[in-house]
Chains A and B, each alone.
Chain A
Amino acid sequence: MTEAAAPAPESRPPLRIRWALAFVVFAVFFAVNAWLQPSLLTARVLTSNLTSFLPLVLVAIGQTYVVLAGDIDLSAGAIIALVNVSVVTLIEQAGGSGGAIALGLAAGIALGILCGLLNGLLVAVLRLQAIVTTFATSIVFGGIALWILPQAGGSVPQAYWRGYAGGLGPVKLTVILFLVALGTAILFSRMRWYRHLLAIGGNRLGAFQSGLAVTRQRVISYVLCGLFAALAALCLVGETASADPLLGPSFTLTSISAVVLGGTALAGGRGGVIGSILGALTLGLINNIVFFAKLPYVTQDLVKGLIILAALAGGILGARR
């Protein structure tokens, strides 16, 4: 096979934008939001929006890796709760110094990774059903969070939340974090293991027969989900300057909504992280829109619920082509 034909002129990887539909949906909601709230287009409002969307964006990124591999993580929110209270409590008990903050951040990330690892071992190595198993671990993680801190409270040193609210010159730290997360997600999507993740989600047996380390990749996806949930928890601490064991759980289902909205199939193998980021931002915009549409307060939840349901249904139908 030495006389291989010269590569044809058009032989470059095709540009396949898997998040085009998610982007259109995002753009529509962004336009509606800007129409209802003209100040949206100012740097200040954009930044503050990004800040409040950031935790969901991070969990959604983590959840995407698990869903792409054909699994699901119903414990992501509980991991957020656990890391959230652990970090605040640890920093308080360690004296609140700069060293204590560093210790808290490191411990929080390690804890998230550990939780993800536990999920991965149960689901991929022991072959338990992902839905019930991560649901069960979420109960355990949530219980431990309540054990550490039974109700909202505690506080972190000024340095933590001041630092989180600060930035490099005019650019806020949260914007930088968002860009770093986005960059990391793009970088990851060019890596070998990510390709393998898509393969495993798309055809688990075929991936196995092609010699891929199926079990290991599935564990890694759970670890990543735990890691990103922990990062989201650290952001929440920076935003609220305190801990709340009940803040996390709602993120589980919202992160799955963001992933589905972003065009990733729950069956796995299809979609991508950028779509999920757009999905998370869209969910945030829906909140804004419902608020700024000056709807009677009592109707806001219904309208929000209907928009999300319609967007999910539309996303699923659109992704199916």
Chain B
Amino acid sequence: MSLLVAENIRKAFGSTLALDGASLTVEPGEVHGLIGSNGCGKSTLCKIAAGSVGADEGHLRFDGREGFFGTPAAAAAAGIAVFYQELSLIPDLDVAENIALGHEPGRRGMVDGGAIHREGARLLARFGSSGGKGLTPGALVRDLSADQRQIAEICKILARAPKLVIFDEATSSLDGDQVQIFFEIVRELREAGTGIIFISHRMDELFAICDRITVMRDGRTEATLPVATTDREAVLTLMVGSALATRHRDEAPPRPGAPVLEVAGLSNAVLRDVSFTLHEGEILGLGGLHGQGQSAVLRAIFGADPSSGSVRLGGMPHARRSPAAAIRAGLGYVSGDRGINGVFLDRPILENMAIAHLSKSRAAVFRPRAFVERVAGIVARLNLRFAGYDFPLRTLSGGNQQKVVIARWLATGPRVLLLDDPTKGIDVEAKADLYAIIDELAAEGVAILLHSSEDEELLSTAHRVLVFGSGRIRADLAGEALTPTALYRAAYEVSAA
């Protein structure tokens, strides 16, 4: 009997449909790979199995027990352990305490500090010296590096002796040695009859360790393939879907413009020596796996995060002191994480549009009528419809909210637009409108730096694409070389451990 059966799961967050028709079956003693583009619903599916997110529809059976879990505690008690991509560690507890969290050894409600520590040491010992300096049972999690935290989260799972383990991007920060040790552990778990769900963007890892692979796309399960009888191309094809064949843009910009943005040796916590030049009227795409430095480049140029290196804007040095300074220099920044970085949900639509223009103009007084005249053309151009400028932004759909943010920047008349995965979580129609306006702006001479987590969007919009991996530019694709396969190869295979 299968260990885990999830069938036809459906889940919406507000107006965004995260899962619809997602299914997954895991056998005991099986390593089951789960792959799909960013935002295809892998993590949500796993969180539903683990009880930390509720499902709207569907069916779940785990270890003979029917029904969804109401809390993570219930799922943990039934034998499910999760490696959370965003980690579930407590920064001010030490590694051993984190590993034991929720099932501390001891009697009568007391904690046996020695036993916790010994158990932590025993589990950490699996990684030997590969964890590096400072990874000790007594180290506070807040003092650990990214890979050390992932090792701590892995140990936290092992301590629970679960029947099913979900590893969500458990290897994303690990180096080659650490990944090999992790694989040994996974193989031991498999021998012991544990079911394992392994989510990774690294194709090599999936093929190295998995028995079967399930491919998800747009919240739906596409297929489940035995590794023995499939290959990477087949998986790629399923992931990319029918869009694989099409590439709308196949030429360079109509006329090569003058260099606008010259970036040289940009480095910070995420970036390693990034250099490129962006021209007038050019749409330069930033691609690669999730979180490899694409956002970091945009934020560093915008002055939102500190960085070293040189950036020249229109030939002049651009100091990157603050977003306010960048706005006055003619930059604009649109983030796909609207909730965090973009919108003022409870404020009127008009204020949402005006805020950056006010900062740039430094006017002390806001004149709504004059501003409405200023943006009326932009609103029409964006195909943006709403009941009135004084309605709270909250009343709009995600796509229209993002259009309001775009309008905010167009109102400032920018020279360079930094687009940070701007179409994340918005509907197809709004996406089309956004890409139409991006094309138009470029044609008018605005230089555009576009990060998208969807390769199809890069292929159909960008003139040239820089593929990022581990904070560096891994490939610079343009013209004939810019093909869907080249993009996927650069992203998925080059970055394998």
Decide if A and B touch, CB cutoff 8 A: yes
The verdict on B290 contacting chain A, using a C-beta distance below 8 Å, is no
- Chain B residue with minimal CB distance to A5? B125
Q: A12-B117, A206-B89, A210-B88 are in contact. Are A1 and B158 (CB under 8 A)?
A: yes
A210 contacts B93, CB within 8 Å?
A: no
Name the interface residues of B124-156: CB closer than 8 Å to any CB of A: 125-126, 128, 137-138, 156
How far, in Å, is B16 (CB) from chain A's closest CB?
20
The verdict on A213 contacting chain B, using a C-beta distance below 8 Å, is yes
B125 contacts A213, CB within 8 Å?
A: no
* Majority secondary structure, A binding face: loop
The verdict on B116 contacting chain A, using a C-beta distance below 8 Å, is yes
B92 contacts A209, CB within 8 Å?
A: no
Contacts of A193 in B (CB 8 A): 109
Name the interface residues of A7-56: CB closer than 8 Å to any CB of B: 7-8, 11-14, 16
B92 contacts A269, CB within 8 Å?
A: yes
The residue from A7, A11, A190, A211 contacting B102, defined by CB atoms under 8 A apart = A211
Stretch at the interface among A145-153, A194-202, A278-286: A194-202
B92 contacts A202, CB within 8 Å?
A: yes
- Chain A residue with minimal CB distance to B188? A1
Complex: how many Å from CA A92 to CA B74? 51
Complex: how many Å from CA A82 to CA B118? 47
How far, in Å, is A81 (CB) from chain B's closest CB?
32
A1 contacts B126, CB within 8 Å?
A: yes
The verdict on B73 contacting chain A, using a C-beta distance below 8 Å, is yes
B117 contacts A198, CB within 8 Å?
A: no
Complex: how many Å from CA A1 to CA B187? 11
The verdict on B106 contacting chain A, using a C-beta distance below 8 Å, is yes
Complex: how many Å from CA A138 to CA B117? 42
Complex: how many Å from CA A211 to CA B81? 10
Complex: how many Å from CA A167 to CA B96? 43
Name the interface residues of A205-256: CB closer than 8 Å to any CB of B: 205-213
How far, in Å, is B148 (CB) from chain A's closest CB?
16
Name the interface residues of B74-91: CB closer than 8 Å to any CB of A: 75-77, 82, 84, 87-91
The verdict on A270 contacting chain B, using a C-beta distance below 8 Å, is yes
B52 contacts A207, CB within 8 Å?
A: no
B90 contacts A199, CB within 8 Å?
A: yes
Tell me the count of chain B residues lying within 8 A, CB to CB, of chain A: 44
The verdict on B122 contacting chain A, using a C-beta distance below 8 Å, is yes
Complex: how many Å from CA A1 to CA B162? 13
The verdict on A126 contacting chain B, using a C-beta distance below 8 Å, is no
Complex: how many Å from CA A212 to CA B104? 12
Contacts of A211 in B (CB 8 A): 71-73, 75-77, 102
Q: A192-B104, A211-B72 are in contact. Are A13 and B92 (CB under 8 A)?
A: no
A202 contacts B94, CB within 8 Å?
A: no
A13 contacts B77, CB within 8 Å?
A: no
The verdict on B110 contacting chain A, using a C-beta distance below 8 Å, is yes
Q: Per-residue CB proximity of B409-427 to A under 8 Å, as 1/0?
A: 0000000000000000000
B111 contacts A195, CB within 8 Å?
A: yes
Complex: how many Å from CA A114 to CA B403? 52
Q: A4-B122, A195-B111, A202-B93 are in contact. Are A209 and B117 (CB under 8 A)?
A: no
The residue from B77, B82, B96 contacting A209, defined by CB atoms under 8 A apart = B82
The verdict on A129 contacting chain B, using a C-beta distance below 8 Å, is no
The verdict on B121 contacting chain A, using a C-beta distance below 8 Å, is yes
Q: A192-B110, A195-B111, A208-B72 are in contact. Are A11 and B52 (CB under 8 A)?
A: no
Contacts of A4 in B (CB 8 A): 122-123, 125-126
The verdict on A203 contacting chain B, using a C-beta distance below 8 Å, is yes
- Chain B residue with minimal CB distance to A206? B88
- Chain A residue with minimal CB distance to B105? A192
How far, in Å, is B456 (CB) from chain A's closest CB?
32
The verdict on B97 contacting chain A, using a C-beta distance below 8 Å, is yes
A206 contacts B116, CB within 8 Å?
A: no
The verdict on B114 contacting chain A, using a C-beta distance below 8 Å, is yes
Complex: how many Å from CA A213 to CA B94? 20
Contacts of A213 in B (CB 8 A): 73
The residue from A12, A13, A16, A195 contacting B101, defined by CB atoms under 8 A apart = A195
Name the interface residues of B47-82: CB closer than 8 Å to any CB of A: 50, 52, 71-73, 75-77, 82
Contacts of B377 in A (CB 8 A): none
B72 contacts A190, CB within 8 Å?
A: no
The verdict on A302 contacting chain B, using a C-beta distance below 8 Å, is no
A206 contacts B90, CB within 8 Å?
A: yes
The verdict on A168 contacting chain B, using a C-beta distance below 8 Å, is no
The verdict on B479 contacting chain A, using a C-beta distance below 8 Å, is no
Contacts of A12 in B (CB 8 A): 114, 117
- Chain B residue with minimal CB distance to A269? B92
The residue from B73, B89, B96, B102 contacting A203, defined by CB atoms under 8 A apart = B89
Contacts of B73 in A (CB 8 A): 211-213
The residue from B96, B122, B125 contacting A13, defined by CB atoms under 8 A apart = B96
B91 contacts A210, CB within 8 Å?
A: no
Complex: how many Å from CA A314 to CA B425? 45
B102 contacts A13, CB within 8 Å?
A: no
- Chain A residue with minimal CB distance to B122? A4
The verdict on A191 contacting chain B, using a C-beta distance below 8 Å, is yes
Contacts of B128 in A (CB 8 A): 5
What are 29 A-B pairs at a CB distance below 8 A?
A: A1-B126, A4-B123, A4-B126, A5-B122, A7-B121, A8-B125, A11-B117, A11-B118, A13-B113, A13-B114, A13-B138, A14-B138, A16-B94, A192-B106, A192-B109, A192-B110, A195-B97, A196-B102, A198-B93, A202-B93, A203-B89, A203-B91, A206-B84, A207-B101, A208-B52, A210-B102, A211-B102, A212-B102, A270-B92
Question: Which residue numbers of A lie inside 8 Å of B, CB to CB?
Answer: 1, 4-5, 7-8, 11-14, 16, 190-193, 195-196, 198-199, 202-203, 205-213, 269-270
Extra pairs beyond A191-B109, A206-B84 (5, CB < 8 Å): A12-B117, A192-B111, A195-B93, A210-B101, A212-B73
